[in-house]
Structures are given as structure tokens and as C-alpha cells.
Amino acid sequence: MNKPLLTLSGVAKSFGTVDALTHVDLEINSGQVIGLVGGNGAGKTTLLRLMAGVMEPTRGQILFQDSPVSTMRKKLGVVPESTGLYSRLTAWENIRYHSRMYGIPDDESWKRVLQFAYRLDILDALSRHTKGFSRGMRQKTALLRALAHDPDILLLDEPTAGLDVTSARTVRSLVGQLRDDGGTIIYSTHHLAEAQQVCDRIIIVHNGTIRADGSPTELLEQTGASNLEEAYVSLTSDKARARVEDDEKEGKLSKWWRLFLTGKTPKMKEALEDE
């Protein structure tokens, strides 16, 4: 049996006196779409940040294969809820700048971008400045940026939030194609119907704990529910807490990686206008 790509062992994260996550044990294998499902404050964003290496766990460890995930960030592609595109740059310039930070030659990045731009129906927009882009176009550009360096795992934080029906469907279709090509995608959403449609495996997060982990069919069997909504309600019947993920002051490592992901180094911040 192949080793898991990502392993979380006894992972916990606290913000002051609040436990955002408590004792998370997960294994992420290749070739799946894994859904993180939960409401606001459930702990999804904290879990994604830990997986991406932008936060350190309070307890436990996170390994990418046999190495700390914080040392393996080039193996990850991240699409945060806020795209962080530079409005004065074209879509391709945003992607190229990001790829160069990963040491990817322009011709290699361009070849890969063309492949996915065609699937996302954004090919004609690559030479346009992102300032006038719709939310859907910005999200598609952020996806291309995350895929240009050929990551082993793609982390998506609410990838269809605020998108129109057509754009959301296009994003979901690409996720399915990436999985069929052997890719691994961690897909955070609070929409159960979307998770059921896209994900092979669903992890339900509520009040900092993992309440369930399995395929949609397994979750129904576990709860005896007739649909996923009933299953979710039965597993998260205790009152949801207030959101706590952003209450901690940002550490140096987290701040550096956030700036690195979005290209907002001090030099670039002076020269370029952010969105």
C-alpha cells in the first residue's frame, strides 16, 4: 500500500484559551477529492492553514510523506478564499510571477497554464489585466496560478463561493478532471450538495473536532439518515461556536508565507497595486 501524501497525527491548534482544533488524526491519499465540510467557526480554515504549513500546530505533527509539511510547500497548490491578484498585472503575469518564485521556467509554466486555461474557458483573458475581472474570472486565474507548478496536493478554500452557476460548474468540472488525472484535492465548503457532487470522501468538522470521515454512502450508513443533510444535522447537533480562526496574532512564519503566496513582498508592495 502506498504511503499517504499527507498525515496529521494528534494535531491540535489553540488560539489563546480557545481550542480551534482538538486531536485531529487524518491521512490524505492520492487520487481523491476530500471535502472539508462545516459551518463558519467549525475549524475548516484552521485545518487548511495547518495543512498548507502557514500555521504550526499547538500539538501533534503534520507530515508530507516523511517530511514536515512546512518544508514541502512547493508540493502544494493553494487557492485561498481571497485570490490576492495584482490588478495592474495581466492574468498571465500574475501566474508567471508566482511560478518564478517556485523556480518554474516560463515556457514550462505557460504550457501547463494553456492546458488548464482551455478547460476553464479563460484562454482569451490571459493577456488582460485582472482589474476588470469578475469574481469568477479571478477565481479561475487563482486556480491557474496554483496549478502552474504542478503541485501534488491542491488546497481549495470555498472555491465556488460567490460564483455564478456557470463558473461554479466549470470549477467543479476541473476538480473532477484533476482527480481523474490522478490529482489530490482538498475541497473546503459549507455546501453539502456540492460536497456530495464533487467529493469522494467527506470530513465533517464541527466545533474543532472531526465528527465524521467517509464516503457519502458511509456517512449515511453511519448515521442511519436518508440524505446528507440529515446526517450532517445529527452529527453537529450541539450549538456552533463563534468563529475563532483569526483571533490569534499572525506569527512571523504565517505572515511570511501569506506574503509569499500572494507575491506581496515589500518590494512588490511598493511597486504594485494590490486588489
Q: How far apart are CA 8 and CA 57, in angstroms?
A: 10
C-alpha–C-alpha distance, residues 197 and 178, integer Å? 15
Mean pLDDT, to the nearest integer, of 194-204? 93
222 contacts 216 by C-beta, under 8 angstroms: no
> What are the C-alpha distances in Å from 210 to residues 8, 47, 230?
12, 11, 17
Give the pLDDT band (50/70/90) at residue 247.
Answer: very low
**What is the reported pTM?**
0.82
How far apart CA 218 and CA 77 sit, in angstroms, is 29
Task: Please report, rounded to a whole number, the percentage of residues in the chain having pLDDT higher than 70.
Answer: 87
Residues 6 or more apart in contact with residue 213 via CB below 8 angstroms: 26, 201, 202, 203, 204
Angle, vertex CA 86, rays to CA 107 and CA 271, nearest 5: 100
Q: Which CATH class is domain 6-271?
A: alpha beta
CA angle 110, 74, 52 (to 5 degrees): 120
φ/ψ region of 145 (left if φ > 0, alpha if ψ in -120 to 50, else beta) reads alpha
The pLDDT of residue 248: 47
At 65, is the pLDDT very low, low, confident or very high (cuts 50, 70, 90)?
confident
Specify whether the CB–CB gap between 154 and 32 falls below 8 A: no
Averaged over 82-110, what is the pLDDT?
Answer: 91
Q: How many C-beta atoms lie closer than 10 Å to residue 56's C-beta?
A: 16
The whole-angstrom separation of Cα 24 and Cα 13 is 10
- The gap from C-alpha 54 to its chain's centroid, in whole angstroms, comes to 12
Domain segments of the chain as ranges: 6-271
pLDDT at residue 264 in the model: 54
Residue 72, pLDDT > 70, answer yes
pLDDT at 263: 54
Instruction: State how beta strands 76-79 and 209-214 pair.
Output: unpaired
Residue 74 pLDDT: 85
69 close to 49: Cβ distance less than 8 angstroms: no
d(CA 275, CA 269): 11
Q: For the residues 111-130, what does the mean pLDDT come to?
A: 91
The CB density around residue 178, as the number of other CB atoms within 10 Å, is 20
Contact 86, 35 (CB under 8 A): no
**Lowest pLDDT segment from 16-20, 25-29, 185-189:** 16-20
